[in-house]
Amino acid sequence: MSSIRELSSGTVTRFERIGAHTHIKGLGLDENGRAVKIKDGMVGQERAREAAGLVVRMIKEGKLSGKCIILAGPPGTGKTALAVAISRELGPNVPFIQMSGSEIYSTERKKTEILIEAMRKAIGVEIHEVRKVYEGEVVRMDVRTVPHPYNPYQKVPESVRITLKSTDEEKTIEAGSSVAQQIIAQGISEGHVIQIDAETGRVVSLGLSLESAKARAYDVDTSMKVPRPSGSILKEKEFVYTLTLADLDELQARRSSGGLFSLLFGVSPEREIDAEARMAVYQQVKEWVDEGKAIIHPGVLFIDDAHLLDLEAFSFLGRAMESELVPIIILATNRGAARIRGTDIKSPFGFPLDLIDRAVIITTQEYDRDSIKEILKIRAREEKVEVEEDALERLADIGIKSSLRYAVQLLSLASQNAKRMGHEKVTIEDVKHVESLFMDVKEASEYLRKYEERLLSH
């Protein structure tokens, strides 16, 4: 008998990453579009959130064409959180692509190519396809084999005869070697519920039928248990696939490239996708939309530190915003008056004036103490950390003195110190201890000035 033992739930590990903005669920507005102080993971910034709410309404009504959104404010004032909230308000199927302005600089690809790919990743295509399939529980199956043409001692499947059963009928079908090979490869046997595409012959195993004798007999089994299908065996079913334009570009490039490299490895030998492949995708998507087979979901392309873009990138974005198929472009910056990269021209935010004229500008302000305290509470709940009230007050004071980001970092460090010390909650002693171990920006600057003569400089 095989040695099988059960594992307690405490020994099973899974990947869990608490991101900086996983708690954001929306803009936190009421039915009149007014910002609630604390709602949907958002705290404070009422003016910016109400402005973003109006922008979301314009986007949903299709009235933001040819414009972009500029989020401007000091570091750590919630610009990225605001962009995430806008994408959440637009719907669950809306793609959200986040990148930094520095990511466009590569030695292998053009800047415009990187921006095109990012924009097309931010446009989702929901494809609806109705196909005829045979669906049912396998009650009988007979695989016929023949000798291998090159090895008479080996047999290969030639055809298969399958009897499928649903709650309403039973039908026997016969298929060729391709279906037989798929059935053998997937380990399908009597009792499994399967789908066979009537046109392509693609076989999908849905799991083990709950009504089958095999499901009732096995005590230990890894197969998913599903009910026996209802209705007729041959039926029409709608399948929904959600892809992005970038995914379709890649498929089109693989299909159109006929070189030896593509034949052997199934990928395009070129690093960049040409304009013809993208135009073919555009025409195909347009046909699907006209025929009612697809729905386009324009998403959000969020470019943080957008002042790092140069004049060529800004010019490309300005032209792209006038296109027929373009995502919502959100640019975030913490610069005031700065030089446009690659030029000696000084302008607001380091952006060209013609781009600023096409944008709606939303500014963020520094958080007050109450807002910082509420954000720390939300982060503590998100990270499943219990914090004593005096420790929370201390962290809020640190956030006012240094920054919100530094206070959030100390919260995580203090929780680790509490675990090490065996505390059930994060205490003020934990906060003071980690505060003494780490430096914020001001303390680091003072340290550098103190030991300036001993440190290397260039």
Identify the helix (H) or strand (E) that includes residue 295.
Answer: strand 294-298
Identify the helix (H) or strand (E) that includes residue 379.
Answer: helix 369-382
As a whole number of angstroms, the distance between CA 122 and CA 201 comes to 33
pLDDT digits over 312-333, tens only?
A: 888 888 888 877 778 888 888 8
pLDDT digits over 391-407, tens only?
A: 888 888 888 888 888 88
Amino acid, single-letter form, for residue 414:
A
Domain at 38-122+299-363, CATH class: alpha beta
- The backbone region for 123, taken as left when phi is positive above 0, alpha when psi lies in -120 to 50, beta otherwise, is beta
pLDDT digits over 73-82, tens only?
A: 888 888 888 8
- Between 21 and 3, residue with greater pLDDT: 21
Domain at 129-240, CATH class: mainly beta
CATH of domain 369-450: 1.10.8.60
Tell me the mean pLDDT in the region 363-375: 84
83: Cβ contacts below 8 Å, ≥ 6 apart: 71, 96, 98, 300, 302, 330, 332
Tell me the mean pLDDT in the region 118-135: 84
For residue 263, the model assigns a pLDDT of 46
Give residue limits of the domains in the chain. Answer: 38-122+299-363, 129-240, 241-290, 369-450
Spatial contact of 285 and 80, defined as CB atoms under 8 Å apart:
no
For residue 260, the model assigns a pLDDT of 46
Q: Is the pLDDT of residue 219 over 80?
A: no
Longest dimension (CA), the chain: 89
Q: Is the pLDDT of residue 35 over 80?
A: no
Of 196-210, 212-226, 434-448, the least confident? 212-226
- Which candidate, 306, 77, 383, places its Cα nearest to that of 316? 306
161-165, 215-219, 447-451: which has the highest mean pLDDT?
161-165
